[in-house]
Structures are given as structure tokens and as C-alpha cells.
Amino acid sequence: MRIVIQRVQHASVTINSEVKSAIEQGYLILLGVESTDTQEDADWLAKKVIGLRVFDDEDHVMNRSIQDIGGNILVISQFTLFASYKKGNRPSWFRAAPHNISIPLYEYFCKQLESLLGRPIGTGEFGADMKVELLNDGPVTICMDSKNKE
């Protein structure tokens, strides 16, 4: 699994001109699922996300977690995180998991985040044409891949 985490002041996802989810301060997470991913990958990433300390403390040092600040999370499925661009100029998506693998793992990851955070998170809609808006705070953007744990 691969994620891009953006620390945001606010973020939202709109589908068919209707806002599906909107959050205030917290994380916008783009999630890509690969065919070889498992629930173990989702568990590892969820724990890393919740423990990540990238919010400022009173000394303006990135030392607080999403839980410490009472922040929110919005997770958007993003198969293009596994784009292969080595041949030609049109990317291919052969590394991205098919729906029968990616949808259950996306849903599992979201449930794990909710459980660890202790409250609901925002989501997009798997496979929909989504319009994502955000105000990146910092900017702080971090990429994580469950295949690079060390």
C-alpha cells in the first residue's frame, strides 16, 4: 500500500457536484492499493499515520500527532499512485490492485484509522470521478509505502 499524506487546514471531496466529505484541520490521505497488499500492510500504515508527529507544539516544533490536536482525516482512493511510467508517455496501471482486492483493503484501512483515531473519518467513493480540494498546511506532504518499512 502506498499513501500520500498532506497536512491540511481543510479538505473536501465532491462527487457529482455534491460534497461527499469535508474536514477541518488534519490529514488528506491518498491511498493506492497494490495486488500484493494485505491487511497487515493496512494495519502498519494506519498505525504510522496515527502516530505521525507533524503538527506544531507550543514551540512551533512538529511534535504533535493527529490525536494530540483532535484533527480529522479524509481518505481518497488513488490507484494512480501505482502508475508505471517507464515506457513511453502514457502511464500504465498494472501494479494497481483490481477492485476485488483494493475495495476491501481501502475499506479496512479506513476502519482501522477510525478505530485508532476514536471517531469517524471522511472518505471519497471508490472508483468515482472525484474533485478534491485542500489547503495544504506548511506545506507538509509525506509519502509512505508499506513495502518500505525499514
Active-site annotation holds for 78: yes
Please state, in angstroms and rounded to a whole number, the distance separating the CA atoms of residues 93 and 144. 19
DSSP H helical ranges for 6-117: 39-51, 66-69, 99-117
If we measure between CA atoms, which residue out of 114, 110, 93 comes closest to residue 3? 110
Please state, in angstroms and rounded to a whole number, the distance separating the CA atoms of residues 141 and 121. 19
Active-site annotation holds for 123: no
Contact (Cβ atoms closer than 8 angstroms) between residue 63 and residue 57:
yes
Q: Which of 9, 36, 39, 80 is catalytic?
A: 80
Contact (Cβ atoms closer than 8 angstroms) between residue 82 and residue 35:
no
Please state, in angstroms and rounded to a whole number, the distance separating the CA atoms of residues 35 and 47. 21
Active-site annotation holds for 141: no
Give the three cell numbers for residue 85.
Answer: 511510467
Give the three cell numbers for residue 2.
Answer: 502506498
Q: Which of 55, 79, 82, 109 is catalytic?
A: 79
Q: Which of 6, 55, 78, 123 is catalytic?
A: 78
Active site residues: 78-80
